[in-house]
Amino acid sequence: MQAQEIYEKLKAEFGDAIIEFNAEPFFDPFVLVTTDKLFDICLYLRDTQGLEFDYLSCLGGMDYKENLGVVYHLYSIKLKHTFVIKVTVSKENPFVPTVERIWRTADWHEREAYDMMGIQFEGHHNLIRILCPYDWENFPLRKDYVQPDEYHGMKVPY
């Protein structure tokens, strides 16, 4: 199914929760959705006949300077089509509902997004750091991150 059709289907189902559809050249077509309906939209995408996005390829946290975002790349093994969803949240209040119960692979991806970007996934069963040490400070992939000088007595800069 083409992205345009999927978007129309979503728009008919969720209305205002779909903020924007982008199909500019050089962009994988994506929809921007609101965070409060994200879980329902994902569930709908997975369970509706004709969509059946049963495979979460990639989940990545983003830093758009003013705010943060999460990008979901979906794929359907049966129907072999792809789709992209985005949400944005503010830096002061970075709460996104978890999709861990829809695709279990989201568990580790969300932990990584939390570790790198500091996005809080509401309802995640075990949201702790995954790549950096558990006592690491700050979120390294934010654009304004500065390297620490020292970690446990070891010098960090070259």
Question: Which residues form the interface with other proteins (CB under 8 A)?
Answer: 24-28, 30, 54-58, 60-63, 71, 73, 77, 80, 82, 84, 103-105, 107-109, 112, 116, 129-133, 140-141, 143, 145, 147-148, 151-152, 154-158
Task: State the minimum distance, in angstroms, from the CB of residue 143 to other proteins.
Answer: 8
C-alpha–C-alpha distance, residues 18 and 126, integer Å: 29
Q: Specify the long-range contacts of residues 5-13, CB closer than 8 Å, at least 24 apart.
A: 6/45, 6/51, 6/83, 7/31, 9/48, 9/51, 10/41, 10/44, 10/45, 13/44
Q: Which is nearer to other proteins, 36 or 104 (CB)?
A: 104
Q: How far is the CB of 97 from other proteins (least distance, A)?
A: 18
Q: What residues does 59 pair with on adjacent strands?
A: 72
Closest distance to other proteins from the beta carbon of 70 (Å): 11
CB of 95 to other proteins, least distance (A): 21
For the chain, report the end-to-end CA distance as a whole number of angstroms: 51
Which residue, 9 or 81, is less far from other proteins as judged by CB?
81
Q: Which is nearer to other proteins, 90 or 138 (CB)?
A: 138
Nearer to other proteins, 13 or 132 (CB): 132
Written as six digits, the tokens of 54 are 């049963």
For residue 71, the minimal CB distance to other proteins (Å) is: 7
The C-alpha torsion from 128 through 132 and 135 to 139, rounded to 10°, is -80
In one-letter notation, the amino acid at residue 158 is Y
Residue type, 148: P
Distance CA 61, CA 119 (A): 7
Select 26 or 49, whichever has its Cβ closest to other proteins.
Answer: 26
